[in-house]
């Protein structure tokens, strides 16, 4: 088990003297602000926003029952993924480990930073064994990214499996819970106080209907949060986003209603899809999408585009031959999709007998 996160940091990050923005140098209230070269003329946004987003953090802290000191906001989870790789992985030397298939940004961020990527191929049911994953880790692997529930497979991994990795890996484990609100499994954020090497990522982009705000959350040990604060761009979350995000988080009644509607629709669409013999399989989903194997994914994908419906073609990814990833929309949107599928498969019956 890891005891000191600071030993894992890149040397240049460990010794970094962070940029001190005007609003970090002076905290508190003043009559007149002449410290940040802002325009004095009022508009809603003439002043720099709070670099540490305290109002937002306090609200999230209440909702998620996590202390403010264990929370970090990024310009989307994507920014946090990048910051973590830059903090812990030496370019040209260190590596990250990810699952295959999974969310593409871990590997892209690693490559941008000249950090190698090791992939553990998931089995036919998109599962894996913790011991297999741990056996692939050598001294060069600094971060393991686990997406659970996983994109694009839709399944979640067991808490025991994830915790045994966190416990036994001598580096950072990033658990991406972007889809946790749609899952029957519980979040592992409460474990960030027990394991100093666990980082849990969540986002406002999916269940919270805030994708355009670009806000992702990291929950982790204070030492990790401190490092992220040190290396982030000072004003990474805009004032407009902070304001709107606060509104979203203060009113989660809608979110809960929409999440249960999406889960109900996910079951309904699954049942409907199963009635087609050309639909070869639908993977169990803990998310707001279905991974569906069909006879010819690319042809169906093209047909749906012509009908004005765009889904994600995952054909070509590991274990995803002829698979489409279909996001669950509103009831009307799903109905339109099903109507067009019906047309497609009935027309095919005519053509191909
Ligand atoms: C959609 C998604 C995200 C969200 O990223 P943001 O930058 O917060 O919008 C993160 N991880 C996974 C696995 C996703 O599918």
Q: What is the pLDDT of residue 321?
A: 97
**Which helix (H) or strand (E) element contains residue 143?**
strand 141-147
Phi-psi region of 334 (alpha: psi -120 to 50; beta: other; left: phi over 0): alpha
Residue of the nearest CA to atom 7 in ligand 1? 76
Mean pLDDT (whole number) for 153-171? 97
pTM of the model as a whole: 0.96
Dmax over CA atoms of the chain, in Å, equals 80
CA of 304 to the centre of ligand 1 (A): 25
Residue closest by Cα to atom 14 of ligand 1: 178
Average pLDDT across the chain, whole number: 95
Residue 26's pLDDT is what? 86
**Using N-to-C axis directions, what is the helix angle for 105-112 and 77-88, rounded to 10°?**
40
Quote the tokens at residue 28.
């508190």
pLDDT for 349: 55
**Higher-confidence position of 73 and 29:** 73
Euclidean distance between the first and the last CA atom of the chain, given in angstroms as a whole number = 62
Q: Which of 148, 176, 201, 203 to mutate to test the pocket of ligand 1 (most atoms within 8 A of CB)?
A: 203
Distance, CA of 170 to CA of 231 (rounded, Å): 23
Instruction: Say if CB 171 and CB 8 are below 8 A apart.
Output: yes
Q: How confident is the model at residue 19 (pLDDT cuts 50, 70, 90)?
A: confident
User: Closest ligand 1 atom to the C-alpha of 79?
Assistant: 7
Lowest mean pLDDT among 10-19, 172-181, 196-205, 281-290: 10-19
- Say what the pLDDT of residue 348 is: 57
CA of 297 to the centre of ligand 1 (A): 24
Predicted pLDDT at 334: 98
Atom of ligand 1 nearest to the CA of 75: 7
What one-character DSSP code corresponds to residue 92?
A: T
Looking only at the bridges linking them, the beta strands covering 71-75 and 215-220 are antiparallel
Nearest CA to ligand 1 atom 2: 178
Q: How far is the CA of 17 from the centre of ligand 1 (A)?
A: 30
C-alpha 314 to ligand 1 mean position (Å)? 17
Q: What pLDDT does 305 receive?
A: 98
Ligand 1 binding pocket (C-beta < 6 A) is 76-78, 103, 147, 151, 176, 178, 203, 205-206, 211, 216
Task: Give the Cα separation of 5 and 143 in Å (integer).
Answer: 12
Tokens representing residue 119 in the block? 């992939």
Residue 228 CA to ligand 1 center (angstroms) comes to 18
Least Cα distance to 298 among 284, 288, 280, 311 occurs for: 311
Task: Give the number of the atom of ligand 1 that is nearest the alpha carbon of residue 211.
Answer: 9
Q: Is residue 182 very low, low, confident or very high in pLDDT (cuts 50, 70, 90)? A: very high
Q: Is the pLDDT of residue 243 over 80?
A: yes
Name the residue with the closest Cα to ligand 1, atom 11.
178
More confident residue, 45 or 349: 45
Residue 73's pLDDT is 98
Task: Give the residue ranges of DSSP H helices in 2-67.
Answer: 11-14, 22-25, 54-64
Residue of the CA atom closest to atom 5 of ligand 1: 77
From ligand 1's centre to the CA of 119, what distance in Å? 19
Q: pLDDT at residue 351 above 80?
A: no
Element (H, E) at 128: none
337 touches 326 (CB < 8 A): yes
d(CA 328, CA 342): 17
3-state DSSP percent of the chain in helix, strand and coil, to 5 = 40, 15, 40
């Amino acid at each position: 088990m890891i005891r000191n996160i600071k030993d894992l940091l890149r040397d240049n990050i460990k010794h970094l003297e962070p940029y001190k923005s005007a609003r970090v140098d002076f905290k508190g209230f003043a009559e007149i602000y002449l410290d940040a070269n802002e325009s004095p003329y009022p508009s809603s946004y003439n002043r720099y926003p709070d670099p540490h987003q305290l109002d937002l953090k306090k609200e999230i802290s209440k909702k998620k029952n996590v202390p403010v000191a264990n929370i970090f906001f990024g310009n989307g989870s994507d920014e946090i993924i990048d910051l973590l790789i830059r903090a812990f992985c030496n370019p040209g030397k260190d590596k990250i480990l990810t699952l295959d298939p999974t969310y593409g940004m871990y590997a892209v961020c690693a490559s941008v930073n000249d950090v190698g990527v090791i992939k553990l191929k998931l089995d036919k049911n998109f599962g894996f064994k913790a011991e297999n994953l741990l056996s692939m880790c050598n001294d060069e692997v600094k971060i393991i990214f686990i997406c659970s529930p996983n994109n694009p497979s839709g399944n979640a991994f067991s808490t025991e499996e994830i915790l045994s990795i966190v416990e036994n890996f001598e580096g950072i484990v990033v658990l991406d819970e972007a889809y946790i609100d749609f899952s029957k499994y519980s979040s592992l954020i409460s474990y960030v106080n027990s394991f100093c090497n666990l980082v849990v990522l969540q986002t406002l982009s999916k269940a919270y209907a805030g994708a355009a705000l670009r806000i992702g959350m990291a929950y982790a040990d204070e030492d990790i949060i401190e490092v992220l604060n040190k290396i982030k761009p000072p004003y990474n979350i805009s004032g407009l986003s902070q304001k709107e995000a606060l509104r979203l988080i203060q009113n989660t009644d809608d979110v809960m209603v929409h999440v249960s509607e999406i889960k109900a629709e996910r079951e309904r669409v699954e049942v409907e899809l199963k009635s087609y013999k050309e639909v070869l399989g639908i993977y169990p989903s803990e998310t707001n999408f279905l991974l569906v194997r069909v006879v010819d994914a690319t042809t169906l994908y093209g047909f749906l585009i012509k009908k004005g419906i765009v889904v994600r073609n995952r054909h070509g990814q590991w274990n995803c031959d002829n698979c489409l990833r279909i996001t669950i929309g509103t009831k009307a949107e799903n109905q339109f999709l099903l109507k067009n599928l019906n047309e497609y498969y009935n027309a095919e019956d005519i053509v191909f007998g």
